[in-house]
Amino acid sequence: MQKFGGRMRVLALNLATATACCLALVICPAAAADAEHGKALFAPCAACHTDRPDALGPSLKGVFGRRSAALEDFRYSNAMRRANLVWDADNLRAYLSNPQGKVKGNRMPLDGITDGKDADDIVEYLETLR
Ligand code: HEC
């Protein structure tokens, strides 16, 4: 009985979450990028992209609208130095979806985010990093 009660609570919680998600979809336009979801998806990126000097990746604070390879204190690859991009939404989406396709030979060890909505949500979150 104890166990059953626990399950019911989990079920109720799932239902509540599902309802909240449906409501959010009704209230917000369904296709709108979601920075909150992007933030959750960003967790694995944060393993490398921190502000610490010994971070494996460059800081992404203010990356939106910045030129590629713009941080003086980060050792970018030659490929990234030569890329000569501005990190607007289109370039970020293309790079995150297929890092080697967009900047061939760059050093970021990421396979690419294949879900287009996920990529949009991450870009939306990156835009909030100031
Ligand atoms: C294992 C470490 C690692 C992970 C995980 C990682 N990155 Fe990177 N990222 C890098 C490195 C290293 C570079 C620099 C690449 C170069 O110089 O060739 C980079 C570069 C970038 C740049 C360009 C920054 C600039 O200043 O030009 C962006 C944007 C970026 N990463 C976003 C992300 C996002 C978003 C994720 C998660 C989906 C992610 N990265 C996951 C290591 C990582």
Q: Indicate the pLDDT class of residue 26, thresholds 50, 70 and 90.
A: low
pLDDT for res 95: 98
Say what the pTM is. Answer: 0.82
**Ligand 1: distance of its center to the CA of 96 in Å?**
9
Please give the backbone phi and psi of residue 105, each rounded to the nearest 5 degrees, phi first: 90, 5
* CATH of the structural domain 33-128, one choice from 1.10.287.4070, 3.40.630.30, 3.40.800.20, 1.10.760.10: 1.10.760.10
Tens of pLDDT, residues 28-62: 555 688 999 999 999 999 999 999 999 999 999 99
pLDDT averaged over the chain?
87
Q: What are the residue boundaries of the structural domains of the chain, listed by start?
A: 1-32, 33-128
Q: 98 — alpha (psi -120 to 50), left (phi > 0) or beta?
A: beta
Tens of pLDDT, residues 70-80: 999 999 999 99
Q: Whose CA is nearest to atom 2 of ligand 1?
A: 48
